[in-house]
Every structure is written in structure tokens, then in C-alpha cells.
Amino acid sequence: MDFLKRLKGFYSPEGVGWFKIREIEVDPNKQRGYIRIEQSFIAEEYGGSDRPVCDFLSGYLQG
């Protein structure tokens, strides 16, 4: 979880400014997590959508 907090600061507008992490939820028992990202540099260019569109960040965060 500490890594995710540092990641949040690095990519925020105060860091490199790629996106804002609004919410982080992690369940270590199920080895699952949820990250809500806003103002992604890719999604901003894509425009409105009914579904997530930033496959780059999804893949990046999955490793």
C-alpha cells in the first residue's frame, strides 16, 4: 500500500502530472485492488466514454 501512496504522489499534478489517483482500495487476502484514476493524459485526449478507455495505465498498473 505504501508503494501505491508514493505512486499517487509521483503521477499527480504536483509530480509529473500524468493523472490523479482519486481512490485506492486493496484487499491483500483476495489479492485484488481497485484504483480510480481521473484526468489521465490518454483519456483526456480520447474524450467521453461509457467505459474505461485508458488501457495504457491499466496495463502499467497491472505490471
Is the sign of the CA dihedral 61, 43, 36, 7 positive or negative? positive
Global pTM reads 0.59
Residues 6+ apart with CB under 8 A from 50: none
pLDDT digits (tens, 9 = 90+) for 30-56: 988 888 888 887 888 888 888 878 788
How large a percentage of the chain has pLDDT more than 90? 5
Amino acid 20: pLDDT: 80
Amino acid 15: pLDDT: 56
pLDDT higher than threshold 60 for residue 12: yes
